[in-house]
């Protein structure tokens, strides 16, 4: 996986209580309930160096694949990848998420995507285990795609040939507004909601 990033030392660990309290906002009655382990798991956010697309037009132009799809598994049941350097220092992490594609909005010329087959995509988030126990770790406060929640997702192939979510948390948006996952701050959530509205309007999803 390559998000063209580097891990910086500043790590912000969100309080478990705050994470649990906000968890009730994450899900609607139409979605699969999160496992208790997900709600009780503390979060770590790492800064990353990545290309930040600030407009929907930029995001559209730079995405190789744009789909509307739904994760087939809860986060706990997905494949979580963590790699380390020889000295044990964290090198990289990501999660492979299988999605059911409902619609392909944009795809590379000559590609042949089968809507009947799941598509495996890379998300910049995972689980790690250390002396303090199990934690959810993400780049730039990224929040994972939710099971049974239909989203529009902007993707680009990395150097391993895997389709990866681009633009961090502003690279995927739930179609239904009530099922949006809050970010780490009110300002960031407001900004994401404004961006989301522009995305849905552009692709006729409102």
The pLDDT of residue 1 is above 70: no
Q: How far apart are CA 154 and CA 137, in angstroms?
A: 21
Is the model more confident about 111 or about 77? Answer: 77
Give the pLDDT of residue 17.
30
Q: Is the pLDDT of residue 190 over 90?
A: no
Instruction: Specify the length of the chain in residues.
Output: 206
pLDDT-based confidence at 143, cuts 50/70/90? Answer: very high
Residue with the larger pLDDT of the pair 48 and 8 = 48
C-alpha–C-alpha distance, residues 2 and 160, integer Å: 8
Does the pLDDT of residue 127 top 90, yes or no? yes
**Distance, CA of 151 to CA of 191 (rounded, Å):** 18
Which residue(s) pair with 128 in the sheet?
135
* Selection from 4-18, 29-43, 101-115, 171-185 with the highest mean pLDDT: 101-115
Unique residue bearing structure tokens 């999803």? 205
Give pLDDT, residue 72. Answer: 97
What pLDDT sits at residue 10? 35
Rounded to an integer, what distance in angstroms lies between the CA atom of residue 86 and that of residue 195? 41
pLDDT of residue 40: 73
Residue 166's pLDDT is: 98
pLDDT band at 139 (very low <50, low <70, confident <90, very high): very high
pLDDT at position 206 is 84
- Measuring CA to CA, how many Å separate 1 from each of 48, 111, 122, 165? 14, 21, 8, 11
Alpha-carbon torsion 104, 66, 152, 71, what sign?
A: positive
């Amino acid at each position: 996986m390559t998000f063209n990033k580097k891990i910086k030392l500043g790590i912000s660990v969100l309080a478990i209580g705050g994470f649990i309290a906000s968890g009730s906002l994450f899900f609607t009655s139409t979605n699969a309930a999160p496992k208790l382990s997900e709600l009780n798991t503390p979060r770590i956010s790492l800064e990353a160096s990545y290309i930040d697309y600030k407009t929907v037009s930029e995001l559209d132009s730079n995405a190789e694949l744009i789909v509307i799809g739904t994760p087939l598994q809860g986060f706990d049941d997905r494949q979580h990848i963590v790699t380390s350097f020889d000295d044990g220092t964290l090198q990289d992490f990501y999660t492979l998420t299988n999605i059911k594609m409902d619609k392909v909005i944009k795809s590379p010329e000559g590609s042949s995507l089968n809507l009947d087959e799941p598509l495996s995509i890379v998300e910049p988030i995972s689980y790690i285990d250390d002396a303090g126990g199990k934690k959810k770790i993400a780049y730039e406060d990224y929040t994972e795609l939710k099971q049974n929640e239909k989203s529009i997702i902007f993707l680009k192939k990395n150097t391993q040939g895997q389709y990866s979510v681009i633009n961090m948390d502003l690279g995927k948006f739930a179609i239904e507004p009530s099922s949006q996952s809050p970010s780490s701050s009110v300002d960031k959530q407001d900004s994401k909601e404004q961006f989301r509205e522009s995305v849905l309007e552009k692709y006729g999803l409102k």
